[in-house]
Amino acid sequence: MSIATPEAGRPRRGRLYIVIGAILTVLAFATAAGLASLSLLQTNTNGTRVVVARNAIGARTKIQASDLMLSSVNPAPPQSFTHVDAVAGKGARVDIPAGSPVTANLIAPAGDVLSSSDVAFLPIPSGFVAVTVPTGEQVGVGGYPQVGDRITMLATLNTSVFGASPPVPVVRTVFTNLDIIRVGPVASQAASGVPSSLTLLMTGCDAEYLFWLLNNSVLKYALESFSDYSATPTQPDPACPKLSSAGGVGPKQVDNRWHFTSG
Least-confidence region, from 7-16, 22-31, 91-100: 7-16
Q: Residue type at 102?
A: V
**Residue 174 in contact with residue 226, Cβ under 8 Å?**
no
Q: How far apart are CA 27 and CA 5, in angstroms?
A: 34
What is residue 210's predicted lDDT score, i.e. its pLDDT? 94
The reply to whether the predicted model has a pTM over 0.85 is: no
Q: How far apart are CA 62 and CA 109, in angstroms?
A: 9
The domains found in the chain, sorted by start residue, are: 48-112 (3.90.1210.10), 128-231+243-258 (no CATH)
- Which residue has better confidence, 13 or 109? 109
Q: Within 13 Å of residue 44, how many CA atoms lie on the same side as its CB?
A: 6
| pLDDT at residue 7 greater than cutoff 60 | no
pLDDT, tens digit, 9 for 90 and up, residues 21-38: 777 777 776 776 666 655
What is residue 43's predicted lDDT score, i.e. its pLDDT? 43
